[in-house]
Amino acid sequence: MKSGLIPNSAVSSSSFWGLEHEHYRARLDNQISERSTGSWSAKRNIVGEWIQVNFGTVKNVAGVIRQGRPVHTQWVRQYKVACGKVEDRLTIIQVGGSDKIYTGNSDVGTKVYNRFPTVLSCRYIRIYPQSWHNHISMRFEFVHGHCFDRNL
């Protein structure tokens, strides 16, 4: 995401707050500018909102790194991740038969890395915020599968 190899058109979401809060603004380390609030912000603060990346082809993914919205006190505290090769058949990551809930951020700028239980093979990967501070807002990056055993 951050490198720009994933085009804006490959990032989608259930909603966004308005202009300058669009899903493609969710790139890790994005900052506030004349035309951007520096992150994706959902339109509503409800469980069920999501943000998704279409890699275009199947990729191996090891985890996700997230940040909150720069300057504003908004971030995702907990989230689930779904993955799949077909957009309408995504599967939520589970551990021990239950949906895995990942710990998110506790401030706007710290990068929090969560490694998946195994390397996932996905074309589509979707993040479902479960709890948040003030508003659902985030920036993120996915980690390549070959980095699975590395400490980031």
The pTM for the full model equals: 0.93
The domain containing residue 117 runs over which residues?
A: 8-147
According to DSSP, residue 12 is labeled E
- Any domain includes 109: yes
1: in domain = no
pLDDT recorded at residue 35: 81
49 lies in a domain? Answer: yes
Is the predicted pLDDT of residue 149 greater than 70, yes or no?
no
What single letter denotes the amino acid at residue 96?
G
pLDDT for residue 9 is more than 80: yes
Give φ, ψ of 88 to 5 degrees.
-90, 15
- The CATH code of the domain that includes 41 is 2.60.120.260
Task: Give residue 147's pLDDT.
Answer: 66
Average pLDDT over residues 76-105: 97
Range of lowest pLDDT (9-23, 24-38, 62-76, 131-145): 24-38
Rounded CA separation 133/112 (Å): 15
Nearest to 140 by CA among 8, 9, 29, 6: 29
pLDDT of the residue at 151: 60
In the chain, the number of structural domains is 1
Q: What is the mean pLDDT of residues 124-150?
A: 91
Quote the distance between the C-alpha of residue 122 and its chain's center.
14
Q: Given pLDDT bands bounded at 50, 70 and 90, which one contains residue 11?
A: very high
Q: Is 138 buried (19+), middle (13-18) or exposed (0-12) by CB count in 10 A?
A: buried
User: Do residues 92 and 82 lie in contact, with contact meaning Cβ atoms separated by under 8 Å?
Assistant: yes
Nearest in space to 67 (alpha carbons), one of 20, 113, 7, 4? 113
CA 72 – CA 113 distance, rounded (Å): 21
Q: Is residue 152 part of a domain?
A: no
**Using the 8-state DSSP alphabet, how is residue 33 labeled?**
B
pLDDT in tens, 96-131: 999 999 999 999 999 999 999 999 999 999 999 999
| Element spanning 65, H or E | strand 51-67
42-61 per-position pLDDT tens digit? 999 999 999 999 999 999 99
Q: How far is 41 from 93, CA to CA, in rounded Å?
A: 23
